[in-house]
């Protein structure tokens, strides 16, 4: 499970649009979570300073003692996560895997009604690395492609605006173009952590 703390509006849309009933209750995301944004040490420090997100995360997740221990708990999930992180040049030594202390042997959540928001919102965005066979895998992939297409269109529009700019000296038109440029840049920037500059 990848937890992204900052909720961009597209992430809120992602959660709102997410279809019900895709979860197969396999428990894999509860058994093998990671945090791409913060190390365990950072999370502990944040929690100590009162950060609510870190407190919520550490309230349920405890780190595996080693990569090998995580691999023995869920080899396929660990392998998939490491492969995807490797594509983003994140080293396996840098990754801490966590398991939830509230997951029961039958893969049910023992605090389901009171589970924290990071669980309710899982997967939180289209780039959350879901375990193999997770019910959200295909849908998340489709959403990724949808967002990529939006960014590509935005880039095309940006190029068209550059041509328009060359053809006019009208201050009002230039101001409007500048405003649209800003919107386009914001759209591209929203996805920058997922590689939008290369789409
Ligand atoms: S891995 Fe996916 S299908 Fe399995 S419990 Fe988590 S969200 Fe549900
Ligand atoms: S609290 Fe429940 S839903 Fe959340 S990770 Fe733990 S077992 Fe899974």
Q: Model's pTM, two decimal places?
A: 0.81
Q: Are strands 61-63 and 98-100 parallel, antiparallel or unpaired?
A: antiparallel
* 151 CA to centre of own chain: 17
Atom of ligand 1 nearest to the CA of 28: 1
Question: Is the C-alpha dihedral spanning 30, 36, 41, 47 positive or negative?
Answer: negative
Contact 134, 24 (CB under 8 A): yes
Residue with tokens 């791409």: 36
Which of 103, 107, 113, 114, when mutated, tests ligand 2's pocket best, judged by the most ligand atoms within 8 Å of its CB? 103
Listed by start position, the domains of the chain span 9-134, 144-198
Per-residue pLDDT of the chain (199 residues; tens, 9 = 90+): 433 333 456 677 788 888 888 999 999 999 999 998 899 999 999 999 999 999 999 999 999 999 999 999 999 999 999 998 888 777 777 889 999 999 999 999 999 999 999 999 899 889 999 999 999 999 999 999 999 999 999 999 999 999 999 999 999 999 999 999 999 998 898 888 888 989 9
Tokens standing for 146?
A: 């949808």
């Amino acid at each position: 499970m990848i937890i992204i703390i900052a909720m961009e509006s597209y992430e809120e849309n992602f959660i709102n649009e997410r279809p019900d009933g895709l979860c197969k209750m396999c428990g894999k995301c509860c058994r093998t979570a990671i945090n791409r944004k913060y190390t365990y040490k950072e999370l502990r420090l944040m929690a100590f300073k009162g950060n609510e997100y870190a407190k919520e995360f550490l309230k349920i997740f405890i780190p595996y003692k080693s990569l090998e221990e995580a691999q023995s708990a869920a080899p396929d999930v660990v392998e998939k996560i490491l492969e995807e992180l490797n594509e983003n040049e994140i080293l396996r030594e840098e990754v801490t895997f966590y398991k939830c202390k509230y997951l029961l042997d039958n893969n049910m959540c023992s605090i389901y009604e009171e589970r924290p928001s990071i669980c309710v919102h899982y997967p939180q965005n289209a780039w959350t690395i879901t375990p193999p066979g997770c019910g959200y895998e295909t849908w998340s992939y489709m959403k990724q492609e949808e967002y990529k297409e939006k960014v590509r269109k935005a880039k095309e529009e940006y190029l068209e605006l550059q041509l328009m700019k060359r053809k006019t000296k009208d201050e009002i038109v230039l101001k409007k173009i500048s405003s649209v440029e800003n919107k386009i840049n914001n759209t591209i920037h929203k996805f920058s952590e997922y590689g939008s500059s290369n789409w």
